[in-house]
Chain A
Amino acid sequence: SYVLTQPPSVSVAPGQTASITCGGNNIGSKSVHWYQQKPGQAPVLVVYDDSDRPSGIPERFSGSNSGNTATLTISRVEAGDEADYYCQVWDSSSDHPLVFGGGTKLTVL
């Protein structure tokens, strides 16, 4: 099945910009979605279809996808953004179509 690779952790100071990557073979040809999961809570969709935001998600959250890397960018990071972030794709060529990355822990210093 398709493999998505995320860094285990990313640290950023408040007010700065955080970039969380998701690597995969030719991932730029796929649609990537991102979820935020705070401790003890269910995941929440923050970016879908590479760069679209669901209603209610701040504009500080944005996404991009090209080549072998997709990126979730969080601008003007706040303490409340500290969470685990997961990328996910639909691999239509596989019998395992729904794949998650291993997750990245975002720490706000």
Chain B
Amino acid sequence: QVHLQESGPGLVKPSETLSLTCTVSGGSISSYYWSWIRQPPGKGLEWIGYIHYSGNTNYNPSLKSRVTISVDTSKNQFSLKLSSVTAADTAVYYCARLDIVLLPSEKGWFDPWGQGTLVTVSS
């Protein structure tokens, strides 16, 4: 049973960089895609981006200029960096495995998810 756990600071100052790590246990990070999703308080889910264990990435266009997702296969971890944060970036941040099927048609879904971590942007 694959388990994901987010870690990182719960408070980040405006204009600084938010950094989170997701540790994967119970299975290898290799051969899969991995993703970050966030949820502002009381609001819906927003996809941030995903990374393949090989290092290929894809980001939400609305966040692309500020997001970097990286992977460390030796530690079975992947990470999120979001720069120049504002109060609008306050959210629960989730990591999740992204199951992608390419044939006969492209499709992808998130399973499992980490428990999530609240990051507040405030001075």
Interface residues of A (CB under 8 A from B): 1, 30-31, 33, 35, 41-45, 48-49, 54, 86, 88, 90, 92, 95-103
Chain A residues whose C-beta falls within 8 Å of the C-beta of B98 in the assembled complex: 98
Chain A residues whose C-beta falls within 8 Å of the C-beta of B112 in the assembled complex: 45
A56 to B45, CA, bound (A): 23
Chain B residues whose C-beta falls within 8 Å of the C-beta of A99 in the assembled complex: 47
Closest to B64 in A: A95
Closest to A103 in B: B44
Of B60, B62, B110, the residue contacting A43 (CB under 8 A) is B110
Closest to A46 in B: B111
Q: A96-B60, A98-B35 are known contacts. Are A43 and B107 too (CB-CB below 8 A)? A: no
A103 to B45, CA, bound (A): 8
Chain B residues whose C-beta falls within 8 Å of the C-beta of A1 in the assembled complex: 61
- Min CB–CB distance A44 → chain B (angstroms): 7
The yes or no answer to B7 lying at the interface (CB within 8 A) is: no
Chain B residues whose C-beta falls within 8 Å of the C-beta of A44 in the assembled complex: 113
Chosen A-B contacts, 26 in total, with CB atoms closer than 8 Å, are: A30-B107, A33-B109, A35-B45, A35-B110, A42-B114, A43-B45, A44-B113, A45-B110, A45-B112, A48-B111, A49-B109, A54-B111, A86-B44, A88-B45, A88-B109, A88-B110, A90-B100, A90-B107, A92-B106, A95-B61, A96-B60, A97-B58, A98-B35, A100-B44, A100-B45, A102-B44
User: Count of A-B contacts with CB under 8 A?
Assistant: 65
The yes or no answer to B123 lying at the interface (CB within 8 A) is: no
The yes or no answer to B31 lying at the interface (CB within 8 A) is: no
A102 to B101, CA, bound (A): 24
- Min CB–CB distance B73 → chain A (angstroms): 23
The yes or no answer to B34 lying at the interface (CB within 8 A) is: no
- Min CB–CB distance A3 → chain B (angstroms): 13
The yes or no answer to B74 lying at the interface (CB within 8 A) is: no
